[in-house]
Amino acid sequence: MKATLELPRSLGALRQSHYSEIKLGTRSVKDELRNNLICKIQRGEAMFPGILGFEDTVVPQVVNAILSRHNFILLGLRGQAKTRLIRLLTCLLDEAVPYVEGCEIHDNPYRPICRRCRDLIATEGDDSPIAWLEREHRYVEKLATPDVTIADMIGDIDPIKAARRGQDISDELTVHYGLLPRANRGIFAINELPDLAGKIQVGLFNIMQEGDVQIKGYPMRLPLDVMLVFTANPEDYTARGKIITPLKDRIGSEIRTHYPATLEQGIAITEQEAWLDRQSTVAVRVPDYIRQVIEQLAFLAREDKRVDKRSGVSQRLPISALENVVSNAERRALKSREQIAVPRILDVYSALPAVTGKLELEYEGELKGGDTVARELIRTSVGKIYDQYFEGANMAQIIQWFDLGGSLKLDENVDSTTMVKQLAGIQGLMEKTKTLGLSANEPDAVRASAAEFILEGLHAHRRISRNEERGYAAEEKRREPREEGGRGERPNFRRQYN
């Protein structure tokens, strides 16, 4: 921060600067967040840049909590941007605040709470050294786990420090501060709050309510200036015995997060987060229907009875899947020495490793297996997106081609030119790609992807079949039986493309 060089470096210089004693001596972190938030609202600025889908639901509740000077908790399933949201709270802090130089808990020069700083200011007066704490260093985050101790969170007696200084072990100067005191004058976030042991939760309650703690049986007054925010899974938070009632009662606001409400919101989030802008010798072009299929896959998984609802389906699923799909298309384009990489539906199936690891299955799903469940979800997703483009469209000509014995086995490694030649042999197929917005001069990679999407959509609706051996073919129940020889035997019109 360039302005840091011009900031006052002693208590006397600080008193004479615009960082007045009135402002810094009385304003808490919650007041600071509130005042800066009010300025943002008045200027019409975005509250939390990069947070999509929460504009009309979660964000207004967070704003209300900050304006109310509440400690708050975000309740939601995994992958709902809870941690990202609380990390953005730092944008509401001042760019830098002064503290007593060398202080472990960044004491306010006008209102020191630790013994060391009180003694230093009493001795040095206006010559007491001042340092500056930037906003990104005023955020402390801890993932709650059962093995977290009160020493980790609050602090502990340091016998080595006592021995070196020749002090009594009960002296306040012998304390080694934990994470919470070190977050003084900032934001302290705890992820998965219910996983904290009960005695740690009691320690947090004491800090929030009384401003004091006990370390190794020694009572210590520690009125910290800190904003506390928490995250938790709704089921863990509401389950009896997971969180002590007094602590829950002192959390000012309980805010529920959620997954994207619409497909468009999900696509926008995935596009923002997925790593698609890559340095490569081939250009990447992802068709809209591919993005929609991948996002629809996440929506279907969240509703599927074979997937554990208590765990949820993270937004990381479509993000990881899209990255994997693009990588498979990129690999094919590099091998074929093509200039453009366009994902196909087969690439979505190739991204199963990015899907199965994100699904926590119920008993019924475990019986079927993760791969089988994921494949069925992909096929259903294709069918739903296919309907958005082709519902009511006449596909009789394409289906007839397969009914007459035609079959087409697709290979994800085949180059686009070869693929288009094979697909062009199916009567009426390439003409239907115009519905997807394709023009006559589109690259072969784009045309191949569109045609394959149509075939997979027909398969999803059981208009044609697909298997590993033959590829796309007529649905068995639709094929007309041939007579066993004689004058009435029908000719075989089967055409095989490999």
CA distance between the termini of the chain: 63
Spatial neighbors of 455 by CB under 8 A, at least 6 apart, are: 398, 408, 410, 426, 429, 464, 466, 472
Q: What stretches of 223-358 show up as alpha helix (H) in DSSP?
A: 234-238, 245-250, 263-273, 288-303, 316-336, 345-350, 352-356
How many other β-carbons are positioned within 10 Å of the β-carbon of residue 373?
23
> Rounded to whole angstroms, how far apart are CA atoms 238 and 127?
52
* pLDDT tens per residue across all 498 residues of the chain: 444 457 899 999 998 888 777 667 678 999 999 999 999 999 999 999 999 999 999 999 999 999 999 999 999 999 999 999 999 999 999 999 999 999 989 999 998 988 889 999 999 999 999 999 999 999 999 998 888 888 888 877 665 665 566 565 556 666 778 898 899 999 999 999 988 888 888 878 777 776 666 666 666 677 889 999 999 988 877 665 688 888 888 899 999 999 999 999 999 999 999 999 989 999 999 999 999 999 999 999 999 999 998 889 999 999 999 999 999 999 999 999 999 999 999 999 999 999 999 999 998 889 999 999 999 999 999 999 999 999 999 999 999 999 999 999 988 889 999 999 999 999 999 999 999 998 878 999 999 999 999 999 999 999 999 987 889 999 876 544 444 444 444 434 333 433
> Rounded to whole angstroms, how far apart are CA atoms 446 and 280?
18
User: With contact defined as beta carbons under 8 Å apart, do 67 and 30 qualify?
Assistant: no
Two tokens, residue 425 = 């042999």
| Domain locations along the chain | 29-68+71-93+138-256, 263-478
Domain 29-68+71-93+138-256 sits in CATH at: 3.40.50.300
The structure's pTM equals: 0.86
> Rounded to whole angstroms, how far apart are CA atoms 172 and 408?
79
